[in-house]
């Protein structure tokens, strides 16, 4: 069955968008993998963490995707990290229920641009990796990164 965000009650859709506006995150990570053609696995992820599991259960129910996990300190995570699921569920949902804050609108726009690159003919070419790095630099306030851009570019195979 194809996911249809129009089936989500509007009050729930706007609630989830508002909650995500404050607490959600769109991320793109690089993992060094010698078995990959250019030595990097590029992964997109949408996630929300909260101590209230019930709220995250609502996300899972209405987005019809994702996984839940918990930490030992009682924090729960709802995450979607499969590219096709992000394209089929997360993007259509947040296009229908947009963010109010300019910051989250910007993060989501850049995330969608990165998804376009990841679904292009040659997503892991050096120019595309450079574009992804440039786009993600201003997402989520820059964020803490395991690998610097320079390190990623210097280790392209």
pLDDT at residue 140, as a whole number: 78
CB atoms within 10 A of CB 58: 16
Banded model confidence at residue 34, pLDDT cuts 50, 70, 90: confident
For the stretch 46-78, pLDDT in tens is: 999 999 999 999 999 999 999 999 999 999 999
For the stretch 114-132, pLDDT in tens is: 999 999 998 888 899 999 9
> What is the rounded distance in angstroms from the CA atom of residue 32 to the CA atom of residue 37?
11
pLDDT at residue 143, as a whole number: 67
Banded model confidence at residue 147, pLDDT cuts 50, 70, 90: confident
Q: Check pLDDT > 80 for residue 111.
A: yes
pLDDT at residue 104, as a whole number: 96
**Terminal-to-terminal C-alpha distance of the chain:** 39
Q: Chain-wide mean pLDDT for the chain? A: 93
For range 2-24, the mean pLDDT: 97
| DSSP output for 36-52 | STTSEEEEEEEEEEES-
pLDDT at residue 69, as a whole number: 96
Banded model confidence at residue 142, pLDDT cuts 50, 70, 90: low
pLDDT at residue 33, as a whole number: 87
Q: 5-154: which CATH architecture? A: Roll (3.10)
pLDDT at residue 116, as a whole number: 97
User: How many CA atoms, within 13 angstroms, populate the side-chain half-sphere of residue 47?
Assistant: 19
Contact yes or no for 44/27 (Cβ under 8 A): yes
pLDDT at residue 13, as a whole number: 98
The total number of residues written for the chain in this structure: 157
Q: How far is CA 148 from the centre of its chain?
A: 19
């Amino acid at each position: 069955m194809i996911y249809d965000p129009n089936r989500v009650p509007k009050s729930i859709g706007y609630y989830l968008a508002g909650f995500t506006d404050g607490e959600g995150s769109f991320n793109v990570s690089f993992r060094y993998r010698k078995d990959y053609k250019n030595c990097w696995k590029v992964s997109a992820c949408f996630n929300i963490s909260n101590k209230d599991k019930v709220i995250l259960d609502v996300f899972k129910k209405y987005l019809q995707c994702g996984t839940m996990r918990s930490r030992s300190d009682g924090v729960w995570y709802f995450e979607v990290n499969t590219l096709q699921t992000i394209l089929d569920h997360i993007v259509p949902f947040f296009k229908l229920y947009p963010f109010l804050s300019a910051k989250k609108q910007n993060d989501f726009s850049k995330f969608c641009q990165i998804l376009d690159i990841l679904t292009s003919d040659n997503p892991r070419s050096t120019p595309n990796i450079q574009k992804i790095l440039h786009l993600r630099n201003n997402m989520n306030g820059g964020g803490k990164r395991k690998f610097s851009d320079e390190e990623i570019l210097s280790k392209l195979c």
